[in-house]
Amino acid sequence: MTPSSLARHLFSTYERYRLDDLTPQNCKHERVFAELFDLVVKSDKLMAMEELGSTIEDRSIQLIRIGRGHKRVLLWSQMHGDESTATLALMDIFNFFVHSGHDKKWVREMLDELTLCFIPMLNPDGAERIERRTAVGIDMNRDALDLATPEAHILRNAQRRLKPTFGFNLHDQELSSVGNSKNVTALALLAPALDEKKTRPPGRVRAIRVAALIARTLDQFVHGHLATYDDAFEPRAFGDNMQRWGTSTVLIESGHWPDDGRKIFIRKLNYVGILSALHGISNGSYQDVDMDYYTHLVPNGKRVYDLIIRGVKLRHQTGWSHAVDIGLSIDPQLNKEPDKAIVTIKDLGDLKAYGALRTVDGASRVVSTNQIVVNQSISAVKLFGILQLPNIDANR
C-alpha cells in the first residue's frame, strides 16, 4: 500500500475510531486517564501504561507503549495545556490500535518494526485550567535546558531512557494563513533546527523526509492549506534540543479549518498524518519521499481572521461614510464559556486580501465610528446587535 493510498484508507475510515465523547472542553486529566485505562484493558495486552511521574499539583503523567520493534518513536502532546487537538487525535489512534492492532496485517507488520511511546498529556495542570503554562507559570517548551519543572524533567528523562530514533512534538498554533494567501493553515510542519546556522546533519534530514511524507499524503485532502512553522533556532525549546540529542523530530502544529470550532477535521488530519508517518518509518518508505514536499511549503502568515463581517457602512459624525470590512479575532482565553462569545475588533477597512474561518454579509448596515473601535473586545451578541444583524454562534 502506497503512503497516499494508506492515507486515503485512514481518512475514509476515521469516524469508526473517533472517540466522540472526548472533546476539547473535557480533555482533562481525570477524563483522559480513565479513557486510557479503559483502552489499555480492551487492548488485550497490545497497549501498556506506565506512570512516569507527577506534576506540581500531583497529577500523574502516563506513557503508553505499543509495539515490539527495534525502532523507537516518542510522541508527546499537550505540553501546553490549552492545546488539546493532538491529544484527542492520539486517543483516537489508541482506539484504532485496540480494534485493528491484532487483525490488520499492515498494522501487525508496523508494530513488529516499531516500539511506539506516547505521552498524550504532558501538562495536565495546564489542561485543567485550559491554559498554556504549567501550574507555576513556566512555559515548559522553554524549559528543555534548565528543567525547572517536573514535567520537563519527565520528558527529558523519557528521551534519555528510551533513546528514540524519531520524535513527534505535537501542538496547536494560533490562527494563521498559508504565507500571504487567504488560505487558512490547517497544519504547519517543522523539522526544527538544532543550531543557529540551521545545518542539516543526517538526523535532521530524516526528520525533513518524515515531514515531507506527511505533507505529501495530506495534500490530497487539504491542498494549499499546509505551511511550515517558524524555523528560527530556539535553544531552550524541546523540539530543537531533541534534534540535538539525536532524536529526529517533527513538529506538527494543529491549525484551523472553516466552520470547525472544535477542530474535528484538524484532529482527523493529525490521526491520518501521524499513522501514515509511523507506517513510513516502519517500512523505511519515508526515505524515498522527495524533500521538496516539505521544503517547498511556505511559512505561516497573518492574512486570516476568525471572522470577517464584509460590507458594513462606517459613518463619522462629520458626515463621512464608506463601506468597510471588520476583521475579528476570537481569543480562546476570553472564550472559556461557550455561550458568552467575546470577539476582538482587530481591523477596519479593505480586507479583500484576507480570509476568514467564517464570513458574514454586513448587508450595508450603518455603524458609527464611535461604536466600532479597533482593539476593542466586545460580546458577539452586542456587536451583532449594534449592526442589526442576526446573531451567530461565534464559537461554532
Q: What gap in Å lies between CA 102 and CA 36, rounded to an integer?
A: 18
Q: How many CB atoms within 10 Å of residue 49?
A: 17
Q: Is 174 helix (H, G, I), strand (E, B) or coil?
A: coil
Q: Which residues contact 177 (CB under 8 A, 6 or more apart)?
A: 183, 184, 185, 227, 300, 301, 302, 303, 304, 354, 355
pLDDT at 121: 98
Angle between helical axes of 202-219 and 264-283 (0-180°, round to 10) = 130
- Residue 391 clears pLDDT 80, i.e. is over it: no
Neighbouring residues of 267: CB distance < 8 A, sequence distance ≥ 6: 18, 85, 88, 89, 92, 254
- Binned at pLDDT 50, 70 and 90, residue 393 comes out as low
* Arithmetic mean of pLDDT, 42-48: 96
- Give the pLDDT confidence score for residue 230 in this predicted structure: 94
Backbone angles phi and psi of 167, in degrees to 5: -135, 150
Identify the CA nearest to 29 among candidates 111, 100, 101, 121.
121
Range 192-219 average pLDDT? 97
pLDDT at 103: 86
Q: Which helix (H) or strand (E) holds 213?
A: helix 202-219
Residue whose C-alpha cell reads 474561518 in the numeric block = 357
Record: fold of 3-301: Aminopeptidase (3.40.630)
- For 199-209, give one letter per residue: b (16+ CB within 10 A) or e: eeeebbebbbb
What Å distances lie between residue 215 and 75, 207, 323, CA to CA? 18, 12, 40
The CATH class of 304-386 is mainly beta
Indicate the SS3 state at residue 55. coil
pLDDT tens for residues 94-120? 999 999 988 899 999 999 999 999 999
pTM of the predicted model as reported, rounded to 2 decimal places? 0.95
Rounded to whole angstroms, how far apart are CA atoms 180 and 17?
A: 36
Candidate from 68-72, 199-203, 314-318, 380-384 with smallest mean pLDDT: 380-384
| Per-residue model confidence (pLDDT) at position 339 | 63
Q: Quick one: cell of 288?
A: 524515498
Q: Where in the chain are all domains bearing CATH 3.40.630.10?
A: 3-301
How many Cα atoms occupy the beta-carbon half-sphere of 358 within 13 Å?
16
Residue in 290, 300, 202 with CA at minimum distance from that of residue 247: 202
For 73, the enclosing helix (H) or strand (E) is strand 71-77
Query: Does residue 367 have a pLDDT over 70?
Result: yes
Amino acid (one-letter) located at 92 = D
Q: Which helix (H) or strand (E) holds 54?
A: strand 47-54
Share of the chain above pLDDT 70, in %: 97
Q: What is the pLDDT of residue 199?
A: 96
pLDDT at 395: 58
Give 286's DSSP letter: G
How much is the average pLDDT of 6-28?
97
- Specify the pLDDT at position 384: 93
pLDDT tens, position by position, 299-330: 999 999 999 999 999 999 999 999 999 999 99
Per-residue confidence (pLDDT) for residue 127, from 0 to 100: 97
- pLDDT tens string 255-302: 999 999 899 999 999 999 999 999 999 999 999 999 999 999 999 999
Calculate the average pLDDT of the chain. 95
Q: What does each C-alpha distance from 63 to 52, 66, 139 come to in angstroms?
A: 6, 10, 21
User: Which residues of the chain does CATH 2.30.40 include?
Assistant: 304-386
Strand ranges across the sheet with 47-54: 47-54, 60-67, 114-119, 71-77, 166-172, 248-254, 187-190, 226-228
Task: Check: CB of residue 253 under 8 Å from CB of residue 173.
Answer: yes
Residue 66 has phi, psi (to 5 degrees) of -140, 135
Spatial distance between the Cα atoms of 297 and 295, rounded to a whole number of angstroms = 6
- The more confidently predicted of residues 331 and 272 is 272
Give the pLDDT of residue 340: 74
pLDDT at residue 338, as a whole number:
59
What is the distance between the alpha carbons of residues 362 and 312, in angstroms, rounded to a whole number? 5
Q: Quick: pLDDT tens for 142-180.
A: 999 999 999 999 999 999 999 999 999 999 999 999 999
pLDDT above 90 as % of the chain: 92
Which H/E stretch holds residue 274?
helix 264-283
Average pLDDT over residues 88-95: 98
Closest listed residue to residue 118, CA positions, set 167, 173, 181, 188: 167
